[in-house]
Structure 1
Amino acid sequence: MKKSILRASSALRAVAFIGAGATTAFIAATPAAAQQDYTRGSIEGRVTNEAGQPLSGATVTLRSNEQGFGRTVTAGADGRFQFNQLPTGSYTVTIRGSAGEIVNDPAVNVVAGKSSNFEYTAVAGNTGAVEGEATPEATAGGGGSIVVTGRRRQVNDLGSTTTGLSIDVARLVENVPVPRTQSGLILLAPGTNSGDAQFADCTDCVSFGGATIAENSYYVNGLNTTNFRTMVGNSLVPFEFYRTFDVRTGGWTAEFGRALGGVTSAVTKSGSNNFETGAVITYNPSWGYSHAPNTFLNTNGDLKQRNDNDFDENVTANFYASGAIIRDRLFFYGLFSPRYDRQDDTSVSGGFRFKSKSTTPFYGFKLDAIPIDGHRLEGTMWSDDRTIYTDYLPVDSDGVVTGASIGREKNRIGGKNWIGQYTGQFTDFFTLSLLYGRNNYRRQDVVSGSPVPILQSTLLGTLTTAPGSGVPIAPTDGKDRRTVYRADADVYVNALGRHHFRFGVDQENLESEENTFYTGDRIYRFTPTYIRTRTYLNQGGFESKQRAYYIQDSWDLFNERLNLNLGLRNDNYKNYSIEGIKFIEMKNQWAPRLGASFDVFGDKNTKINAFYGKYYLGVPTNTNIRLGGAETFYEQRFNYATGVSGAVFDPETGIPIGQGFDNNGAPLLGTVRAGSACPRSDLAQAPPARRSSLMVPQDRLTRLLLKI
């Protein structure tokens, strides 16, 4: 039946706030960015002579201390200059005036998503100490002594109303003991809290500003890695792969969308002219963890969860190498991370001790090419593919293992990710950035060996897994793929003040494949009066499309005492059913982003911010799968076979006395109870040969495994 198109308003949040900001160090608390993209930073400044007059027409040269590339601009009539779309790293700024004035600053650090703003005072051709610290990182590209000329004062980025943190990860871990996880970095930002650990897709997600953990967006080198099936969690990279990590908790400009809570943007490490190798190894022994107390089903002391014999251990080794393939032009960075994780725990009420182990390594690679100064190509690839094997060992009422594993669960998650990016500065006032990326995520959870049905019982007074049951999971073999196209441009104009226009478009094509069913075809449950059966099957491929346009103007007025950030974003969302029919369409979700900053004393050290914004969320593809798919769920109730009664059962197993089973381990059933007949003959209770057809054939399962 053809479904009509559903038009609906997506979830939105409108926020307004007022705040204040001041300059900070390697953890940059608000302001996080002024019109900067996901992966770049900028340097802006003003240069004057010792008499305080602007050095109009001064030549300003920028050179990377790590990769050697350079750019040159000319200071304007007011002495102002800017370098846009810069990769993270350390830079040297040299300024030469027409009368011989000179500034040399070898210690300018650029962090992604942040504008570094300075006021320089040039000296008349003499060398002298700068008022400001020159760090050893400044000479990362060449080494030797540091000679600094002129005076420098770092000032607030007046054009930013964004709140959050910009973190230089490498410098942070040298000074602050933090968990080496994504959530460990996010929780450094004010207004963030740990989320519920019970979500399967993300056990350590974070809530931003009171929003749910399913309302955030996550980016790595400009690629959206958010889990678009459920919106919970994202594709991860190892901690050692991070160079900078930007946490945006509010006030984001129009280029950011598809989130209501917060946005994170990570930039991975790159190579430099220096060849470097190293290793970082972490070990977390089980004896270093405290265990939760045992839990009980009732006041009689019947165990529910036995935790006193839990085991949790992991070892991760990170081996990296980086350097120049062609000095000043082509660089590489590679990371290989062998991992060992083991976790054992016991569910007495579930009837099993679970022993899980994973040894899948992580690997990542980044190439940076600078064919000519001002133009840059970047390629990033990483794999967070991971396979976890879990054995199910039966236990008694005390949680003691009573036999060998009844089956092994294979859980494969993650996948390969690819990013290609171009950034080009064509003039002092125009920069263009293009990005293409792919984010893959596998969702395979299958059982090895013969698929035995799941057996449950309520005859012991609580729901338990009966002996002889198959592994109690719903096997699935799904995968998600996101394909991203993005273009952004920056234009600087002087007209009734200074304008920085940023505008762009991005397109995300989302694909999900689903194939889920019950182990051994059905779940059987013994109750006092009948045997209940449940059947579930969901297969198919689904698509969604998301497109956005935006424009933002950062407008400086009144001799830079006031900045207005005026932005507008338009989001469009489309979701398609299993037949390829568009059943959700949300057009023209207009989202204004309006901010203002005022320099209170005119010294650029103290400012007041105000911001109003509206945000929208798309519909996750899990809705396509459940609402627009071919999902089948059916429950039937059967009488016990002749001579069998639910009132007479084994007090240890919860299985009725005399209950028979077929060769596949399924219980023999009596007649179907009134009102429980299945209208579909292909799903009704059938002989074992018919039931096996509901399982995915092994050859098809193999093809699905290989297709990714």
Structure 2
Amino acid sequence: MDARGRYTAGNLPLGTYKVTVKRDGAVVETRENVAITVGANTDVSFAAANAAGSGVQTLDSVTVNAASLATIDVSSVDTRTVVTAEQLQQLPLGRTAEAIALLAPGVVVNSGGFDNGPLGGSLPSFGGSAASENAYYLNGFNTTTISNNLGGLTLPYGAIDQQEIFTGGYGAQYGRANGGVINQIGKRGTNEWTFGAAVIWEPNGLRANQRDIYWRPDSQASTVNNAAYRYARAANGLYQPASEAEANQTTYSAYVGGPIIQDKLFFFLAAEQVDSDGVRVGTNRDTDNGRTGGLTDYDYKQKRWYAKVDWNITDNHLIEVTGASDEAETNGSIYRYDYLARQRGSYFTDESTWKTGPTLFTGKYTGYIGDNLTVTALYGKMTTPDELTPFNYDAAGGPVISSAALQNPAYTGGTPRIGNQLVTSVSSPDREYKKTISA
């Protein structure tokens, strides 16, 4: 505190604080429930305490109690929106970081159809920028998808303490972005035990049916793909029987947090799983009705978890250890579909199987060295496996054998050698991406 009574406290962990002014060991004034917002200053003034120490005697007074917020934060130059956990409990939002980001001015759904994984939200566009120009951060660590910069690792909904949405003017610590930045701060344990659980069920029976899509009745025959056009007209102009689609989704989530050692060591755990299954029917563009796969039974799963341990070594030295994961897996079976009879046919093949999702571990140290110096150090590593098995792939079938008719009869005895493998190549089947950051 300086000679004018002004004071600052930086890099405080997010939470609700009690601030007390003492003079000669006696409490003069107290502020309860002082909430800290990420990236912004919180003003806590004690005008009454100053008056009490100036020798002024108050004879009569009128006391008005009210809460006020500064209209302009002159301590920052960036353009941001901060959404807190309390607001998330009250607002009717999708349970994704992208849905929360749409609350910020100038943020809309991207026009390219990109999303954050098979069950993630549609990626946002900040001020007209592309979906690949954004950056994702979790507790200060860059979690943007390494392979294509589309989306990133995000928290289970119940683990979000605050989410910052930067739309412009952000500093160097949020680099590698030309669009916007989504920065999530995870919850931490306190001296009070907190826990909760939820199940969200979204059955297909409570959804409205989509409308079928038809070719234009007055469209003319084309010399390009003319056979497909004739078949489409034979199917009464049906292009896609969208009303046959089905979608069921169930979300399970739980969290718990509390003290391991009072005032010293705390933990917080959260987990969330989304199970989605249903049916989708493709467009009618094939000439041979019922011989190719047009209907898919799909099964998607997404698993998120978050764990955090906070250790107050002393009042001036803190250590935080964080782990998080956001894994997704897609499976499905493809069936033949008769567009004339609008009926499912026999099994055709398996849908492409995709397993992906990052796992993150970070460690952070914060030290308050005197009244004017704060030291922070962050180290973390994120690993993202990305396994894609294309449909028709037979792992036991060996390599594909093409042009069997050209094999030399002297070696084959007149019987061409063929196999079950239909896939000609698999690109990087065990690919894995890694990111290490220290600051």
Report the TM-score when normalising by structure 1. Answer: 0.50
Structure 1 counterpart of 2:432: 479
Uncovered stretches (5+) of structure 2, i.e. residues with no partner: 218-232, 286-291, 403-419
Mean alpha-carbon deviation: is it higher for 328-337 or for 404-413?
404-413
Structure 1 counterpart of 2:254: 319
SS in 2 for 1:240: helix
Structure 1 counterpart of 2:346: 403
SS in 2 for 1:384: strand
Cα distance per residue 1:206-248 (max 9 Å; x no partner): 0001111111111011111112322211123221121100011
SS in 1 for 2:178: coil
Hey, what's the Cα distance between the residues in 2 that align with 1:391 and 1:475?
22
Aligned ranges for residues 592-611 of structure 1 at < 5 Å? none
Cα distance per residue 1:68-113 (max 9 Å; x no partner): xxxxxxx212221111001111001111246968220012100222
Hey, what's the Cα distance between the residues in 1 that align with 2:178 and 2:303?
33
- Superposition deviation, residue 281 in structure 1: 1.7
Q: Is this contact kept in 2: 1:197–1:204, CA < 8 A? A: no
1:201–1:328 Cα change, 3 Å: closer
Matched, 1:256 2:174: yes
- Superposition deviation, residue 175 in structure 1: 2.7
Hey, what's the Cα distance between the residues in 2 that align with 1:409 and 1:390?
7
Higher relative contact order (CA 8 A, sep 6+): 1
Aligned ranges for residues 489-504 of structure 1 at < 5 Å? none
Hey, what's the Cα distance between the residues in 2 that align with 1:96 and 1:378?
31
SS in 2 for 1:255: helix
Q: Is this contact kept in 1: 2:82–2:163, CA < 8 A? A: yes
Uncovered stretches (5+) of structure 1, i.e. residues with no partner: 1-74, 134-151, 456-467, 487-708
Cα distance per residue 1:602-643 (max 9 Å; x no partner): xxxxxxxxxxxxxxxxxxxxxxxxxxxxxxxxxxxxxxxxxx
SS in 2 for 1:113: coil
Which amino acid is the alignment partner of residue 309 of structure 1?
E
Matched, 1:269 2:192: no
Matched, 1:424 2:358: no
- Give 1 or 2: higher helix fraction: 2
Hey, what's the Cα distance between the residues in 2 that align with 1:390 and 1:262?
35
Hey, what's the Cα distance between the residues in 2 that align with 1:101 and 1:130?
21
Structure 2 counterpart of 1:184: 99
Matched, 1:90 2:16: yes
1:196–1:283 Cα change, 3 Å: farther
Hey, what's the Cα distance between the residues in 2 that align with 1:195 and 1:161?
26
Q: 1:159 aligns with which of 70, 75, 82?
A: 75
Mean alpha-carbon deviation: is it higher for 226-235 or for 240-249?
226-235
Which amino acid is the alignment partner of residue 378 of structure 1?
E
Hey, what's the Cα distance between the residues in 1 that align with 2:353 and 2:152?
21
Q: Is this contact kept in 2: 1:118–1:154, CA < 8 A? A: no
Q: Is this contact kept in 2: 1:119–1:154, CA < 8 A? A: no
1:329–1:483 Cα change, 3 Å: same
Q: Is this contact kept in 1: 2:210–2:245, CA < 8 A? A: no
- Give 1 or 2: higher strand fraction: 1
- Superposition deviation, residue 361 in structure 1: 3.5
Q: 1:380 aligns with which of 322, 334, 337?
A: 322
Matched, 1:131 2:65: yes
Matched, 1:353 2:295: yes
Structure 1 counterpart of 2:32: 106
Cα distance per residue 1:404-460 (max 9 Å; x no partner): 24225321010311111111111111111111111222221114646698x9xxxxx
Cα distance per residue 1:255-312 (max 9 Å; x no partner): 3211111111101111111122220221222234344433345643444432111111
Hey, what's the Cα distance between the residues in 2 that align with 1:318 and 1:283?
12
Q: Is this contact kept in 2: 1:116–1:157, CA < 8 A? A: no
Q: 1:366 aligns with which of 308, 311, 314?
A: 308
Cα distance per residue 1:474-531 (max 9 Å; x no partner): 6652221111111xxxxxxxxxxxxxxxxxxxxxxxxxxxxxxxxxxxxxxxxxxxxx
Which amino acid is the alignment partner of residue 132 of structure 1?
A
SS in 2 for 1:395: strand
1:324–1:212 Cα change, 3 Å: same
Which amino acid is the alignment partner of residue 157 of structure 1?
D
Percent of residue pairs identical: 24
Which amino acid is the alignment partner of residue 294 of structure 1?
D
Q: Is this contact kept in 2: 1:131–1:153, CA < 8 A? A: no
- Superposition deviation, residue 472 in structure 1: 11
1:474–1:354 Cα change, 3 Å: farther
Report the TM-score when normalising by structure 2. Answer: 0.78
Cα distance per residue 1:538-597 (max 9 Å; x no partner): xxxxxxxxxxxxxxxxxxxxxxxxxxxxxxxxxxxxxxxxxxxxxxxxxxxxxxxxxxxx
